[in-house]
A and B are shown apart, each in its own frame.
Chain A
Amino acid sequence: MDSLSGSLVKLRPLRDEDFEFLAGLRNDMRTQGWNQRLPPCYTPKMVKDRVEKNYAKPNQGVWGIETKDGRLVGYINYEEAPPRLGATIGVITCVESWGKGHAREAMELILRFLFEERGLQVASLWTLSDRVRMIGLAEKLGFKVSARLRENAIVGGKVCDTIVMDMIREEYRLKHSKMAGT
């Protein structure tokens, strides 16, 4: 693997001029970025502080998702917990880029990195039952629903479930046969 680069997008380090756009994604309640822990009044500085903190840790990664023509469309991150065993992935892309395969390829690049370069046993992600696009994408990639926290979130005036999905190393290996045996 040369770099985290596919046929549609590449993952690149974040730059100062990205934070305005990323704060906008966090404040858009249609995206994955709005995690309900903080209200949608994120400032670019808050995103920058968080990313800088993240960069200082060996068990976290964060990248901008850039299309091949150089447009930033979102970002992707992971946090290993426990280190070298499991990781939780987060991905956000702007609504305009939905349906174009950008998030899917970014997820594939990260999964390959985590399973093949970090040697992890399991990758997981959290979403909401309302986020049908995210659940569909995760299922296509090979994730399965492993936990459902019933009726513990609200989206658009409706109660919904928090969904935890995961994929273990063996499932990844069977789906992506290029990977050498564990």
Chain B
Amino acid sequence: MDTLSGDLVRLRPLKDEDLEYLASLKNDNRTQATGRRLPPRLTATILRERHEKTLKSPMKGLWSIETKGGELVGTVDYHEYLPRLGAMLGIVTGTEHWGKGYGREALELVIRFLFEERGLQVVNLWTTSWNVRMVGLARKLGFKIAVREREGRWLGGTIYDGLFLDMIREEYYASRDLKDMMKAVI
């Protein structure tokens, strides 16, 4: 693997001129980015400070997702909550880019990086039951629902479940028909 690049998108470092668009994604309640920890009033400045901190951590990765034509789509990130064991993923793409396979390929690239280059045992992500697109994508990628946090989220006046999905190393290699070379050494 040379760089994190696929057929549809490539993952590249963040640029200052991305921040305005990325802040707007965070402020869009329909996207994955809405973490409900802050009201939707994030600014480019808040994001820049947050990203600079993130990029200094050896256990965190954060990329802009860009189409092969150079259009910014969103971001994908991970955090190794237990170094070299498990990582939690995050992804957000603009609604105008949905349904084109960008999010799927971006996640596939990061997952491959985490299993192949970081040697992790498990990757996981949080989403909500209203976000059926994200749940469907995660399932297609091989994730399984591990935790259902019942009635722990809400959107547009309705109560939903929080969902925690994960995929373990063995499932990744089996579903992609790949050989786990690390296992071969042990």
A interface vs B, CB < 8 Å?
Answer: 23, 27-30, 36-44, 46, 95, 151, 154-159
Interface contact A156-B185, CB-CB below 8 Å: no
Binds A, one of B114-122, B137-145, B149-157: B114-122
What residues on A are CB-neighbors of B4 within 8 Å? 27, 40
Question: Which label, helix, strand, loop or mixed, suits the secondary structure of the B interface?
Answer: mixed
Question: Which label, helix, strand, loop or mixed, suits the secondary structure of the A interface?
Answer: loop
Count how many pairs of residues, one from A and one from B, have CB atoms less than 8 Å apart in the complex: 67
What residues on A are CB-neighbors of B56 within 8 Å? 46
What residues on A are CB-neighbors of B12 within 8 Å? 27
Task: Assess A154 versus B118: contact at CB under 8 Å? Given A41-B13, A46-B55.
Answer: yes
Least CB distance from B77 to A in Å reads 9
Interface flag for B82 (CB, 8 Å):
no
B interface vs A, CB < 8 Å?
Answer: 1-4, 11-15, 55-56, 58, 60-63, 113, 115-119, 178, 180-182, 185
Q: Complex Cα distance A12/B138, Å?
A: 48
Q: Complex Cα distance A36/B119, Å?
A: 12
Q: Which 10 A-B pairs have the closest CB atoms?
A: A39-B61, A157-B116, A43-B13, A154-B119, A158-B181, A157-B181, A159-B185, A41-B63, A30-B2, A41-B13
